[in-house]
A and B are shown apart, each in its own frame.
Chain A
Amino acid sequence: MTAASLTGADVKTNVSLKRRLKRAERARQIKALALVLPLLLFLLFTFAGPIAGMLWHAVDDHEVRQVLPQTVAALAGWDGKDVPDEKAYAALASDIQAARAAGTIAIAAKRLNYAQNGFRTILTSTARNLKAMPEPGTARETLGKINPAWRDRATWTTIRDASGPVTSFYLLGALDLVRNADGAIVAAPPDQAIYRDVFGRTFLISLGVTVLCLVLGFPVAYLLATLPPGRSNLLMIFVLLPFWTSLLVRTCAWIVLLQSKGVVNDSLHWLGIIDEPLRLIYNRFGVCVAMTHVLLPFMILPLYSSMKAISPAYMRAAASLGASPITAFLRIYMPQTLPGIGAGSLLVFILALGYYITPALVGGAADQMISYFIALYTTETANWGLASALGAVLLLATVLLALVYGKLVQGQQVTGGMKN
């Protein structure tokens, strides 16, 4: 076939060629999709679903709406400047009667009590003392007599703010903020403002653990990458060994080692270095040590893989060009490990942010991280809204970090080059 006839055939089959290519590609894509589908479904049900649920719980506010529907409706047009009119009082009385009969008063009481301490008492005492529907026109008077709090504007704004269907109450709470009676966002009272502190502590501990892991892991990874294969495999087994034991066991081992009658204190005492046992556990030190131990492999492995990709020829080239070993390390080796440092640090930092068991076991009251509070609100006080809001804030911080890291890595890839 000549070149000319080839071009002619090309033009003629061009359309069907494209279609055929598409068809061939489609079959491949469907096969690929079929391969990942089970995992995709699994993740959807166990990961995406629960996270969406959590995010919804952080803003969901249906309890008061469900238990006190008429009151919520009556308060919809209220300007909030003074106590609402008689209609709202009558609606509330009717709602309370109905809720009492249905036994749902506690649901609303719990939600309102989050917003205003003591609201539970107000609502339950009112429900108990409101024997019958007040005469038309006397609802305000009757309720005010049962509990003077009903004469207070703030009581009503609390109900209005909790009337849903969505609320910023929990999210603000997670950041130590509240809405005052006028709807403005203000700082929470000092005795309730703990979460910023806890978030700060969580980030600080995570950062400290990340730095410790990097400082301890870098030389190990370097050794792993430069040792001959036989010995590096052995060392790698030691690095991976912690993965083969349960997290709980490893954490408890630290308790055995670090407690006041533990191995470390006894040894130091026996050596005569100390008279009094050092306080090594149930404080920040213990948390950092135990978490560093648990998370160290997550730092070493990415570092190792980035170091393994660095050809020894680079260091030789640097030396032959006149760079001392230190200069060569700082200017040639280190920059090429940056992707590994970034990946390892991000991994350790994010894992540390969500750490629960280790700080719960070896930390003191002042070392509990955000996960502890999330667990507390989920399992003990069943304040799902606040637990979800704390989780959402943590998730947001983590996602932001991952995005920043992604940007950095992208930049690195452009600057990275051929690996020999």
Chain B
Amino acid sequence: MEAGLVTPILVRFSGIQKTYDGEHLVVKHLDLDIKKGEFITLLGPSGSGKTTTLMMLAGFEVPTQGEIYLADRPIKNMPPHKRDIGMVFQNYALFPHLTIEENVAFPLSVRKTSKAETQERVKAALRMIKMETLAQRRPGQLSGGQQQRVALARALVFNPQLVLMDEPLGALDKRLREQMQLEIKQLHETMGITVVYVTHDQSEALTMSDRIAVFNDGIVQQIDRPDALYERPVNSFVANFVGENNVLSGTVETTDKDYCRVLLAAGGTVMARAVNVSGAGAATSLSVRPERVAIVPDGASSDGANRLPAKVQNTIYLGDHALAVLDVAGNTEFMVKLQPGAHDRLRSGESVFISFRPEDCLALDPV
């Protein structure tokens, strides 16, 4: 990316490994650069090493091998309180014996900031989260969303060079979570801070991030912009983890530059983009997004699109759209996103055909 050439690197993970028990590596190998002002999300299932990575950056865990640089300074052996990194925790971790105001003032008071300046900055921080009127309350008297706002203000009030967020919205309900996502995103944009965000919720990651690092099994699978991650996953894990995905397994028959012909295990051939296949004869998993598939009445292809016979299992009505669950080449949970009003025209057990373009079908590593 061109931007990377001009934007300075704030954090650099270099050859990081981490093990807790001396047998299993939680983080197997990590090289990751985080640019100044960037909102980067570490996305992955639990146990993938994303939280461990965050904890190493915060200073609560020490890498078994490798070095972490913060603004070009190695920080592996620097205690957390000297790193100048703000952190927002999953359960907010607001100090229960202090008022909201005292909580927000805490990072300033341990830095021996003058009284007048502390007062001014705390006020500004509370104004930013629209909670000036609740300054004298205790954390226990606030709702989850309010507590999370205070935690945010507390992590930002001392102008840290980096803010870490460890699944900060995990304890909130869906509507509040979506609202907070936008608020956090807005804060990031207006304040120009660098944010490292950990979540296992892929839609949250897609909504908020400049870049997403997908973790699995202690390895970063792919680091990319949200749209690139969705449109061009490099392997089956990313394709399956980010967004809805249909998988068809088969064997590569022939390859031709960017495309390959794949013989499906259940019979039939499909043209697909060769993304992650070794060559002819290799097993592969095809990935097709539900919204890139159309249901058509007959199997005759005129435009070079792939056509496969399918049987309707049922339809799922979701309000803004509907899904058809099909049986396609042995995959009985093949999802197709339907146009509004189309769902009641399909009957269970009905035989139809599906159509998708070769560029929307990715041949990836076998699952």
Residue ranges of A at the interface with B (Cβ–Cβ < 8 Å): 311, 313-314, 316-325, 327-328, 331-332, 335-336, 414-420
* Interface hit among B40-48, B105-113, B173-181, B206-214: B105-113
Residue numbers in A under 8 Å from B169 (CB-CB)? none
Residue of B nearest to A332 (CB): B95
Digitize B55-96: 1 where CB-to-A-CB distance is under 8 Å, 0 elsewhere: 000111000000000000000000111111111010111111
Contact A313 B91 (CB under 8 A): yes
Nearest to B89 among chain A residues (CB) is A313
How close is B92's CB to chain A, nearest CB, in angstroms?
7
A319 is contacted by which of B81, B97, B158 (Cβ under 8 Å)? B81
Q: A322-B110, A327-B110 are in contact. Are A317 and B93 (CB under 8 A)?
A: yes
B residues sitting closer than 8 Å to A (CB atoms) are 58-60, 79-87, 89, 91-97, 106-107, 110-111, 138-141, 147, 154-155, 158, 164
B135–chain A nearest beta-carbon distance, Å: 15
In contact, B139 and A418 (Cβ under 8 angstroms): yes
With A321-B106, A322-B110 given, is the CB distance from A335 to B97 under 8 Å? yes
Partner of B80, one of A313, A319, A335, A417: A319
Contacts of A335 in B (CB 8 A): 97
**Max chain A Cβ within 10 angstroms of own Cβ: one of B59, B83, B93:** B93
The answer on a CB contact under 8 Å between A418 and B140 is yes
* Cα distance A298–B139 in the bound complex, in angstroms: 31
Contacts of A415 in B (CB 8 A): 97, 138
Complex CA gap A324/B81 in Å reads 6
Chain A residues near B92 (CB, 8 Å)? 420
Q: How far is the CA of A162 from the CA of B138 in the complex (A)?
A: 59
Question: Which of A316, A317, A320, A325 counts the most chain B CB atoms within 10 A?
Answer: A320
Docked Cα-Cα span, A414 to B98, in Å, equals: 11
Of all A-B residue pairs in the complex, the 8 with the closest CB atoms, nearest first, are A417-B140, A417-B96, A320-B87, A317-B93, A321-B107, A420-B91, A313-B93, A319-B80
Chain B residues near A324 (CB-CB < 8 A): 79, 81, 110
State whether B110 touches A323 (Cβ < 8 A): yes
Instruction: Please state if B85 and A417 are interface contacts (CB–CB under 8 Å).
Output: no
Which residues of A have CB within 8 Å of B110?
A: 321-324, 327, 331
Contact indicator A311/B111 (Cβ below 8 Å): no
The total number of A-B Cβ pairs within 8 Å is: 92
B113 to chain A, nearest CB (A): 10
Q: A322 contacts B91, CB within 8 Å?
A: no
Known interface pairs A316-B80, A418-B139. Does A321 touch B86 (Cβ–Cβ under 8 Å)?
yes
What are the residues of chain A within 8 A of B87 when measuring CB–CB?
Answer: 316-317, 320-321
Known interface pairs A321-B110, A325-B79; 14 further A-B residue pairs with C-beta atoms within 8 A, sorted by A's residue number:
A317-B87, A317-B89, A319-B80, A320-B58, A320-B80, A320-B83, A320-B155, A321-B81, A322-B111, A323-B110, A416-B97, A416-B140, A417-B96, A419-B96
B99: min CB distance to chain A, Å = 9
- The answer on a CB contact under 8 Å between B141 and A417 is yes
Residues of A contacting B97 with CB < 8 Å?
335-336, 415-417
The answer to whether B58 touches A416 (Cβ under 8 A) is no
Which residues of chain B are near A311, meaning CB under 8 Å?
A: 91, 93
A417 to chain B: which residues have CB within 8 Å? 94, 96-97, 138-141
Known: A311-B93, A335-B97, A420-B91. A318 touches B139 (CB 8 A): no
In the bound assembly, the distance between CA atoms of A325 and B81 in angstroms comes to: 8
Query: How far apart are the CA atoms of A393 and B82 in the complex, in Å?
Result: 55
Query: Could you list some 8 contacts between A and B, CB below 8 A?
Result: A313-B93, A316-B58, A320-B87, A322-B84, A322-B111, A324-B81, A327-B110, A336-B97
Q: Which of B80, B83, B93 contacts A314 (CB 8 A)?
A: B93
Residues of chain A within 8 A (CB-CB) of B111 are: 322
Q: Check if A323 sits within 8 Å of B106, measured CB to CB.
A: yes
Contacts A313-B91, A418-B139 given; indicate if A320 touches B96 (C-beta within 8 A). Answer: no
A336 to B94 CA separation, bound complex (whole angstroms): 12
Q: Once bound together, how far apart are the Cα atoms of A316 and B88, in whole Å?
A: 10
Give the distance to chain B from A36, nearest Cβ to Cβ, in Å: 31
Which B residues are CB-close (under 8 A) to A320? 58-59, 80-81, 83, 85-87, 155, 164
Given the complex, which residues of B lie within 8 Å of A328, measured CB to CB? 81
CA distance A328 to B87 in the complex (A): 15
**Once the chains are docked, how many angstroms separate the CA of A414 from the CA of B91?**
21
Task: Give complex CA distance A325, B97 in Å.
Answer: 18
Which of B60, B80, B85: most chain A Cβ within 10 A? B80
Query: What's the least CB distance linking B152 to chain A, in Å?
Result: 13
**Docked pose: A336 CA to B138 CA in angstroms:** 14
Output the least CB separation between B52 and chain A (Å): 14
Contact yes or no, B81 A420, CB < 8 A: no
Q: How far is the CA of A317 from the CA of B147 in the complex (A)?
A: 14
Tell me how far the C-beta of A83 lies from the nearest C-beta in chain B, rounded to whole angstroms.
69
Chain B residues near A313 (CB, 8 Å)? 89, 91, 93
Residue in B closest to A334 when the chains form the complex, CB atoms: B97
**B96–A336 touching, CB < 8 Å:** yes
A335 to B96, CA, bound (A): 10
Partner of B81, one of A323, A336, A418: A323
Docked complex Cα distance between A327 and B79 (Å): 14
When C-beta atoms are compared, the residue in chain B nearest to A327 turns out to be B110
List A contacts of B91 (CB < 8 A).
311, 313, 420
| Given A314-B95, A416-B140, A417-B94, A319-B107 contact (CB < 8 Å) | no
Cα distance A334–B135 in the bound complex, in angstroms? 23
Q: What residues of A have a CB within 8 angstroms of the CB of B84 in the complex?
A: 322
Q: What residues on A are CB-neighbors of B95 within 8 Å?
A: 314, 317-318, 332, 336
Q: Which residues of A lie under 8 Å from residue B164 when comparing CB positions?
A: 320
User: Shortest Cβ distance from B125 into chain A, in angstroms?
Assistant: 13
Instruction: For A413, give the chain B residue with the smallest CB separation.
Output: B140
Q: Which residues on the B side are within 8 Å of A327 (C-beta)?
A: 110
Q: How far is the CA of A314 from the CA of B94 in the complex (A)?
A: 7
Residue in B closest to A310 when the chains form the complex, CB atoms: B96
Minimum C-beta distance from A264 to chain B (A): 42
B residues in contact with A420, CB < 8 Å: 91-93
Closest to A315 in B: B93
Which of A316, A336, A414, A415 has the largest number of chain B CB atoms within 10 A?
A: A316
Q: For B147, what are the chain A residues with a Cβ–Cβ distance below 8 Å?
A: 418
Chain B residues contacting A416 (CB-CB under 8 Å) are 96-97, 138, 140
Nearest Cβ distance between residue A136 and chain B, in whole angstroms?
82
Min Cβ gap A415→B in Å is 5
Residues on A with beta carbons closer than 8 Å to the beta carbon of B96: 336, 416-419
B59 touches A319 (CB 8 A): yes
Q: Which residues of B contact A316 (CB under 8 A)?
A: 58, 60, 80, 87, 89, 93
- Distance of A65 Cα from B95 Cα, bound (Å): 65
A76 to chain B, nearest CB (A): 62
Kindly state the separation between the CA atoms of A331 and B111 in the bound complex, as whole angstroms: 14
A132→B60 CA distance, assembly (Å): 98
- Cβ–Cβ contact B158 & A321, under 8 A: yes
Task: Give the complex CA separation of A161 and B46 in angstroms.
Answer: 83
